[in-house]
Amino acid sequence: MTHVSDLILKVENIQCGYDGVPVIHGISLDVAQGEIVAIVGANGAGKTTTMRTIVGLMHPYRGKVIFAGKDITLMEAHDTIKLGISYVPEGRRLFSKLTIRENLELGAFIKNDRKGIDESLERVFELFPKLYDRRTQVAETMSGGEQQMVAIARGLMSDPKLLLLDELSLGLMPSLVEKVMEAVVAINRSGVTVLIVEQMVQEALEIAHRGYVIQTGQIVQQGTAQELLDSPEVRKAYMGL
16, 30, 48, 212: which one contacts ligand ATP (CB under 6 A)? Answer: 48
Write the CB contacts of 128 (distance below 8 Å, at least 6 apart in sequence). 149, 153, 183
Bridge partner residues of 62 (DSSP): 15
Nearer to ligand ATP, 23 or 220 (CB): 23
220 binds ligand ATP, rule: CB under 6 A:
no
Please give the residues from 180 up to 199 whose contact with ligand ATP meets the rule CB under 6 A.
199
> How far apart are alpha carbons 222 and 214 in whole angstroms?
9
DSSP 8-state class, residue 75: -
Nearer to ligand ATP, 199 or 221 (CB): 199
> How far apart are alpha carbons 2 and 9 in whole angstroms?
12
Q: Tell me, residue by residue from 28 to 47, as one string, x for binding to ligand ATP by CB under 6 A and - for no binding.
A: -------------x-xxxxx
Residue 35 binds which entry of ligand ATP, Mg ion, none, CB below 5-8 Å type-dependent? none
Strands annotated E in the chain: 7-18, 21-32, 36-40, 62-67, 70-71, 85-88, 162-166, 193-198, 210-215, 218-224
- Identify residue 90 by its one-letter amino acid code: E
CB of 239 to Mg ion, least distance (A): 19
Residues that bind ligand ATP (CB under 6 A): 18, 23, 41, 43-49, 90, 167, 199
Residues that bind Mg ion (CB under 5 A): 47-48, 90
